[in-house]
Structure formats: C-alpha cells, structure tokens
C-alpha cells in the first residue's frame, strides 16, 4: 500500500526501493502482486541475495566504486541495502561514511544518479514550508541538515556536501534502527565560495557566491520555523557548518527547538568516552589530565566544554577544570595576552607566555593528552610525539581530523614514535600496528558511536530539548561498553560489529536524562532496553 492506502502492484513495486524485493518476491507474492513474468523465475532468499551483492561489492576496484555500488543498491532495494550494512558493519561504515564519503562529496556532481533528500536553496526564500511539504513522509523523526561549507576537513563543497546528511542518516538506521522513512537529509544551498565548483559546468548547486549576514540568517530561520510546522516532532542535527555559523546557530536554537550539532557535541561525547577509556589504561582519573588541543574551532571548544562539565561532575571547580584545557590555533598558543580572539576561544585563553608552535606548547605545558581537531595533516610530528612520550608513561594521543588524508598522524606513527607508549584514537579507521611483538588495535573516535543512540533516545523519550547532560550520559554509556579485553588490545571503543547494542546502551542513558516526566527513570534498565529494541527497524522480508 502507498501512503494514501492504494494498492501498489506490478512494475511499480519493482521501481520503489521501499517495496522492491527483486528476486526475493515469493511465488505467492508474484501471483498476488502481478509480478509474474517481470522477474526471473527463481526465488532467492534475502541471505542468497546478500551473498550475490557481497560478491559484486568486493569486485569493485576502489572505495569510491564501492560507494557508488552501494548507492545504486539503496536506490533500488532499501531492505537489502540495510541488511548488507548491518551484517557487514565494520566493512561498510568506512565506505558509506568516513573516510570514503569525503571523496564521494568531492565528486558528488560527477557520480550523481538519483536525488535523495531535500534541497532548500537561497532562491526558495519565502516558500520553504512549501518545499518541506513536498517531502512524501510526514512522520519524520530525524533531520540532518548542512550548508556544505565545512565538509569534514575538506572545506566548502557547496551542494556536493549532501553526501554527508545522506550518509549520517543511513547510519541512524543501521546503527540505531531508526526506520529509513523517518529520516530526512537536507541541503541548505546558500551558494559556494569554492571557485573550482563555480567553474564546474556539472556542479549541481547554485552557481553563486555564498549569501551571508541577515540574508543567510533569514533563510536558516525560515527553515527552522518550517520544520516546526511540518515536522514538529523531529530532532534536527546540524552538520558541517563553518565555525562562525556552527557555534552561534547552536546557541541560537538549542533552547528553542530539539536540536544539536554533531561536530560540536557528538564529537565531544565520543572524545570524552575515549578519554574515560584511556584513564582506565593509565589507572588515573579524568581530573588528573591536562589537555592540549591542536585546533581551536567548534570541535575543539565543544570537546573542551564537555570535558569541563565532566570534570566538574567529579568535583573539580569550573575555573580549575578550564585551566586544564589549552588550545593551539593557526597562530600559536591561545593565551590571554593575544588580541582579537574569537569569542568561543576566550574561556580557554589562560595566563601564560605566548608560544608560536605545538612542540613548544607541549614542552612548556606538559600535557597528558594531545587532541588533534585541526584538519592539518602530519602536524603531530615525530618531535611532538617523542616529547609527549618523554613527559608521560602513557600519553593520550587523539588524531581526530578526517578524512584520513587530514589526520594529524597515523596510528603507526603514534605508536612507533612513542615506543608503543601512546594510547591512540583516530578520526578515521587505521589497521592494527605491531611493535616488538605487541599488536595494538587503534580505536576510531567515530561519532557513529554517539549520534544514532542519542537520536534514538530522544525519539523514544519524546524530549523537546537536547541538553549537555545528554552528551555527558552518552559518553559514560559508551565508555561502559569497552571491556578490559578491549583495553588490553589498545581499543578505546567497542568493535563496530556491536554497534546496535552500543546504540541501545547510549539511548537508554539518554532516555533517563532527557525524560522530563521522571517516569522512565523508575523503570528497570532491561525494560527500557526492550522498549528500544521493539522500536528498531530490522531489514528483512
């Protein structure tokens, strides 16, 4: 049946990815649904179809080809697409999201096959609600929206950045079981300042410079108001906005609507969870750490803010907690004596002499943890990492910039240049590293451990706001999923093949924090988990 209750049959079924089973339609279904003769005669099970898809998937010669192959599958058979992702999650996540999605976004116009999601352009000002009502689904639970200005570490990709919301929402479905029809990717096309795209005759977006100021704010505000009218229960996730807009838009809307910024808050929660795991390896406490960030944008200050919240929860006064977080930006160490600091950096501008480079900051501040969110590759040099190892028995080294080409260092560099002392996590996946007979399994500080569970918990609790306490509880829940066996391997995060269990744990903790009625807190943990599992989309015929 379609949304109006009309019976769908024949070729129409085969061309709708939500209803198409391909060769999986049974003999009875082929007769009842007028499919006889429209398919090869043999009926295949979902497991047999999966085997065929995986054979063809593994024949692809590049990760981008694999991305395109999976996109084509999603366009024709949604159930099979999600079955593949769920059964082969560790193999698939690097393809449908980081690091491959970065290359896919760069080439988005060239590989474009079929429109997915909603495009709201600057030319649509004044009729955004009308556009939202063109979307065929009404019961939308999660909206991921970007304006394409800061795609991963790649910068302004304009409308090509639509690959990010599409990928994020596929992860909401596969990792947390949020039904695909309840997910809406949105591109706010406000132009691009990328000259290469503006010259590209195949570019799909507005071939104009980005709008800004009041014109930009007016369009965003119209979009937000339209979502509250058309999809009043939806959680809105801001994704890959430039720093100058990401921080202020979050501050503007966080107390007005149900929203969060994954680059700021999701990244913060996954980083905090990794730090919790690292302190178990070190046998230390969070309040014992001193954090030095390379990068001082929204991701860095978002992580620092949540670290401060967590340290305060452990009894450290706020001013002392902030003093344990230091930033290095493109100019050097962020200190009070510097002129014209951006507002979001001021809270972390401490009294100290100015130092112009990262190595000097490491030697002077003697941090226990080095966190890279700069988007600048190879900046955790051998000298920097050797200095960290000289200061600490087990230095925490997080190279969180992605895609892989933007990583501050590789896992192998982190382990080798610290003689195996480092506790490492990357923003992209890295293979195991063996040093002197010991094998390290590097963790990936992937937001996929956080945002799907947060979304599921918010949806299940009916919360109207997403607070800082939501992300603090999510980080703790994620860290609790890391076993002693994982830590012994060097893992700071659980394996991706347990991601649905992880998302359930995160969502359960979020439900308790987000529920304003107080009723959910009184329910047993197992009952909450069972409620969440009952909501989950399971890809099957």
Instruction: Quote the tokens at residue 525.
Output: 């943990």
Rounded Cα–Cα distance for residues 72 and 17 (Å): 10
Peptide bond into 519 cis (omega under 30): no
Encode 194-223: b = buried (16+ Cβ within 10 Å), e = exposed: beebbebeebbbbebebbeeeebeebbebb
Question: How many Cα atoms occupy the beta-carbon half-sphere of 492 within 13 Å?
Answer: 29
Would you call 276 a catalytic residue per the annotation?
Answer: no
Rounded Cα–Cα distance for residues 446 and 271 (Å): 9
- Give the three-class secondary structure for 424: strand
Encode 292-330: b = buried (16+ Cβ within 10 Å), e = exposed: bbbbbbbbbbbbbbbbbbbbbeeebeeeebbebbbbbbe
Distances (CA, A) of 377 to 270, 409, 425: 21, 7, 15
User: In the chain, what are the helix, strand and coil shares in percent, each to the nearest 5?
Assistant: 50, 10, 40
CA dihedral sign of residues 501, 507, 513, 518: negative
The residues with which 238 forms a beta bridge, in sequence order, are 145, 261
CB-CB contact of 286 with 311 (8 Å) = yes
Instruction: Quote the tokens at residue 85.
Output: 């992702």
The H or E element containing residue 363 is helix 358-365
Q: In what order do the strands lie in the sheet with 396-399?
A: 325-328, 291-294, 369-372, 396-399, 423-426, 443-444
The residues with which 434 forms a beta bridge, in sequence order, are 439
Rounded Cα–Cα distance for residues 329 and 447 (Å): 23
Catalytic residue among 67, 97, 449, 537: 97
Would you call 67 a catalytic residue per the annotation?
Answer: no
Closest by alpha carbon to 379, among 402, 358, 364? 358
Catalytic residue among 66, 168, 406, 512: 168
Return the active site residues: 97, 168
């Amino acid at each position: 049946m379609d949304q109006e209750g009309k019976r769908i049959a024949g070729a129409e079924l085969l061309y709708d990815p939500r209803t198409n089973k391909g060769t999986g339609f049974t003999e009875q279904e082929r007769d009842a649904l007028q499919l006889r003769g429209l398919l090869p005669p043999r009926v295949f099970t979902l497991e047999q179809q999966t085997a065929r898809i995986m054979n063809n998937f593994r024949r692809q010669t590049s990760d981008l080809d694999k991305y395109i192959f999976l996109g084509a599958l999603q366009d024709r058979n949604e159930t099979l697409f999600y079955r593949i992702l769920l059964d082969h999650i560790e193999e698939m996540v690097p393809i449908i999201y980081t690091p491959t999605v970065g290359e896919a976004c760069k080439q988005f116009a060239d590989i474009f096959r079929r429109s997915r999601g909603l495009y709201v352009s600057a030319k649509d000002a004044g009729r955004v609600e009308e556009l939202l009502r063109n979307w065929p689904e009404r019961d939308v639970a999660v909206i991921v929206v970007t304006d394409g200005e800061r795609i991963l570490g790649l910068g302004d990709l304009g409308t090509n950045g639509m690959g990010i919301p599409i990928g994020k929402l596929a992860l909401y479905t596969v990792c947390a079981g949020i039904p695909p029809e309840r997910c809406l990717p949105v591109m706010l096309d406000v132009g691009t300042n990328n000259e290469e795209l503006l010259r590209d005759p195949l570019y799909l977006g507005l071939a104009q410079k980005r709008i800004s100021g009041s014109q930009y704010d007016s369009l965003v505000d119209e979009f937000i108001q339209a979502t509250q009218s058309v999809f009043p229960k939806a959680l809105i996730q801001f994704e890959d906005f430039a720093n100058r807009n990401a921080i202020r838009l979050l501050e503007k809307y966080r107390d007005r609507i149900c929203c969060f910024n994954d680059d700021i808050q999701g990244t913060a929660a996954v980083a905090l969870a990794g730090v919790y795991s690292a302190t178990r390896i070190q046998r230390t406490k969070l309040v014992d750490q001193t954090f030095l960030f390379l990068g001082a944008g929204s991701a860095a200050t978002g992580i620092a803010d949540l670290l401060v919240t967590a340290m305060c929860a452990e009894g450290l006064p706020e001013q002392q907690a902030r003093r344990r977080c230091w930033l290095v930006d493109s100019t050097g160490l962020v200190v009070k004596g510097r002129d014209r600091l951006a507002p979001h950096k001021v809270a972390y501008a401490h009294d100290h002499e100015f130092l112009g480079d990262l190595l000097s900051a490491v030697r002077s501040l003697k941090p226990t943890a080095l966190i890279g969110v700069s988007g600048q590759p190879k900046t955790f040099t051998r000298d920097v990492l050797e200095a960290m190892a000289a200061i600490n028995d087990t230095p925490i080294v997080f190279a969180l910039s992605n895609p892989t080409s933007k990583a501050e260092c590789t896992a192998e560099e982190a382990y080798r240049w610290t003689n195996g002392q480092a506790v490492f996590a990357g923003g992209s996946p890295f293979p195991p590293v063996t040093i002197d007979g010991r094998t390290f399994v590097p963790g990936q500080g992937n937001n996929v451990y956080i945002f799907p569970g947060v979304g599921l918990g918010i949806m299940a609790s009916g919360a109207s706001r997403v607070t800082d306490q939501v992300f603090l509880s999510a980080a703790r829940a994620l860290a609790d999923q890391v076993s002693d066996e994982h830590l012994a391997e060097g893992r700071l995060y659980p394996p991706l093949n347990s991601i649905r269990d992880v998302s359930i744990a995160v969502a359960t903790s979020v439900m308790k924090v987000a529920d304003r009625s107080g009723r959910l807190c009184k329910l047993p943990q197992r009952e909450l988990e069972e409620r969440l599992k009952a909501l989950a989309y399971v890809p099957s015929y």
